[in-house]
Structure 1
Amino acid sequence: MQQQRQGRLSPRFRLLICLSLTLLAPWVIAAPQTQASASNYDYSDAHVHVVDFFQEGDPLPELIRAMDKGNIDHAMISGIPLMKKWHENEPKRPRYYAGDDAGMYWYSATDSYVAEAYRKLPKDQQARLHPFLCGFNPTDKNADKHLRQMLETYPDVWQGIGEVLTRHDDLTALTQDDTPRANNEAMYRVYRVAAEFGLPVLLHSNITSKRERNPLYISEINDALAAHSDVNFIWAHAGTSTTLHRYQDKLDFLLAELKKLLANHKNLYVDLSWTVLEPYLLNKDDKAVAGWVALVEQYPTRFMIGSDALGSYDKMGKALKEYTPFLDALSKETARKIARDNFLALLPPKPISDKLVKSQQDKD
């Protein structure tokens, strides 16, 4: 019956059908191609905090489960060097450091928490996590002593230093101490420990203040890079923060300043987590920004990504997958390095315990 009806179609009607199918064909074909073009990447998460600003966080086995779910092979882990005070005059416990005007204080026990939690994991899970030291006051010239104590107490745990919080707008404004800088003497002592043990330093150092539309603090990180060329620095969020964006929307000078820093300092690496994806790497239509694509391709080993998780891991995989449009705009080799390999390449090649023995022998 159906064949008889088709047989009665006029030649003109058949032509219209053919033309319609011809016009629709590219759309029908393009849909599965677009879906198939989305790349699946393996990741190293270069920025994970296993506790929040109240030194609370989900257990590390939950982190491993989140990593398995999100194609995350490796992750940097650290505590948080600050504790939010619940002030006597506040009727409700704050939920975040900006919840009220109470101060923040430096909290060294965060490193012990990370080390003890890490050591409880099976060896195969430990191999996927890379703990960084952060529990020190970056304005205290005793900070290097804390690092050495932690390295001696947990010699086979630590693989880096950070996230060190200097120049972090409202956060460091709440600290009950001087404003920390990347180029003060206390931090220079920290960098000397980093050089001695081959530890990379993940450093938060805002490029400017909330109001200044210029790279007000660029000299601080520039000085640190120049004075310690034997240390690999990872610049957290490329010097940006949500507070800066809240006041200034977008730092128009950021890309130009970053180009100069990368050209002048071979020891500078850039963490593209948190506030860098938007509005810098991707525009409002989720299209990769050409200037950033060109810069990353020019320095393919100098960038990495991270989730900046804060004591909770359920959104890690989603956070890293949001980089897909940018990674897809890069060459396949560069995309693989940014997504996974560059962070791992910065980790110390030998156990810290070997260098501790040598350090003690040199002192003797």
Structure 2
Amino acid sequence: MKLASSATRNAMLACFAILTSGCSAAYQGRINDAEVHLVDYFQRSDGAAALISTMDEQNIDHAYVMGLPVMKKWGASAPKAPRFVYGDDTPVYYYSFTDELIAREVESLPTESQARLHPFVSGFNTTDMNAAEHIERELNYRPGFWQGIGEVITRHDHLTALTSDEKPRANHPALSKVYNLAARHDMPVLLHTNITSQREDNPLYLQELEQALNQHPDTRFLWAHAGTTTTLTRTITMKFLYQTVADLLSEHDNLYILASWSLIEVMMPQGQIDRRWLSLIEAYPERFMIGSDVVGQFQYQAGALAVWSPILSALPTHVADKMAYQNMLSVLPKKPQQK
């Protein structure tokens, strides 16, 4: 989740990097957004109509839209209501109604606007062995409406610590059933799983992700931020990440990288492009996509996407077009039913 100051700073960084990176011109191609949370951690939202308005202003054609699978509790002992998910130590809890909120918002739009939004179902407990059954029930209730599953939140810094109940992980047996369901319905899974903890500058949790990828080769995994968070990038260097991602892409053709949020800090340390990442994107041009990761409010969407302009501008045009636009559409169900 980004705050206004972060979005502004990142947008300024993007503009500066374009001028200093040797690119002849900023990327001018079409843009899609592969990660929009229509609600925040209190399940509040500016609404789908506001999102479409922002997309129109910024010439964004399509967006994945999803809820958030957890709700921040306002504890009776708190002196005031929390304003942010990490505002105090009260927990978050799984909140299935998030999917209904998303569906109602999308369905309230005109048909042509609905066609630009691609809803993902996310309101389930990732450690519940009945989770796949719950998702199947929702898919049957709205046939053809849902186009993906996620964001599935597993290891996620302080959010994991605040989550009531058993702690989630990418290779949890409950999620194995969800991944099988996704494959049967030809749906991508947007997965957040940290690659490490904030005190370990090595791929501590790599085995959990690898097990999911190995056991579910027919499931398309969109790895949110390539396992990074701002908590991680502020406390460790993450220099290992490039080789980790390169190895994973080489070994698993069902893995895609959702370039959003904190990943830019690894690809562009100190505002300078690490050109190894450009080579990696060129080597796997169908496997990267960009997203804003905005949460409930959409005024920061343009700034969150603008941070990727230096990367897109430094890539060959046909590769940049895939990363910015085509890839997020290509991984959706091949023959979605009519809404």
| Common fold: TM-score over 0.5 | yes
Q: Distance in 2 between matches of 1:232 and 1:59?
A: 29
Where 2:269 maps in the other structure, the secondary structure is coil
Q: Distance in 1 between matches of 2:67 and 2:55?
A: 18
**Structure 2: segments with no counterpart, 5+ residues:** 1-18
The structure 1 segments of at least 4 consecutive aligned residues displaced by more than 4 Å after TM superposition are none
Q: Distance in 2 between matches of 1:197 and 1:130?
A: 15
Deviations 1:74-109 (A, max 9, x none): 000000000001111101111111101101100000
**Structure 1: segments with no counterpart, 5+ residues:** 1-30, 355-364
2:186 aligned with 1:198 = yes
Q: Distance in 2 between matches of 1:61 and 1:51?
A: 13
Q: 1:353 to 1:42 in 2, by over 3 A?
A: closer
Question: Which is worse superposed, 75-84 or 153-162?
Answer: 153-162
2:37 aligned with 1:49 = yes
Where 2:99 maps in the other structure, the secondary structure is helix
Shift of 1:288: 2.3
Deviations 1:26-61 (A, max 9, x none): xxxxx9xx9982232311100100000000011111
2:314 aligned with 1:326 = no
Q: Distance in 2 between matches of 1:71 and 1:288?
A: 25
Alignment partner, residue 11 of structure 1? none
2:214 aligned with 1:259 = no
Pick the structure with greater CA Rg. 1
TM-score (norm 1): 0.85
Where 1:47 maps in the other structure, the secondary structure is strand
Deviations 1:344-363 (A, max 9, x none): 00000222579xxxxxxxxx
2:300 aligned with 1:315 = yes
Shift of 1:252: 1.1
| Contact 1:51 1:80 (8 Å CA) reproduced | yes
Alignment partner, residue 164 of structure 2? 176
Alignment partner, residue 138 of structure 1? 126
Where 1:37 maps in the other structure, the secondary structure is coil
Where 2:197 maps in the other structure, the secondary structure is coil
Q: Distance in 2 between matches of 1:191 and 1:242?
A: 27
Q: Which of 275, 278, 302 is 2:262 aligned to?
A: 275
Alignment partner, residue 337 of structure 1? 322
| Contact 2:107 2:114 (8 Å CA) reproduced | yes
Q: Which of 106, 120, 128 is 2:116 aligned to?
A: 128
Report 1:213-228 matches (<5 A).
213-228=201-216
TM-score (norm 2): 0.91
Q: 1:36 to 1:253 in 2, by over 3 A?
A: closer
Report the number of matched residues.
Answer: 319
| Contact 2:121 2:150 (8 Å CA) reproduced | yes
RMSD: 1.6
Q: Distance in 1 between matches of 2:26 and 2:170?
A: 39
Q: Distance in 2 between matches of 1:73 and 1:107?
A: 29
Q: Distance in 1 between matches of 2:25 and 2:179?
A: 43
Letter in structure 1 aligned against 2:296: G
Where 1:73 maps in the other structure, the secondary structure is strand
Shift of 1:236: 0.4
Deviations 1:219-243 (A, max 9, x none): 0010000000000000000001111
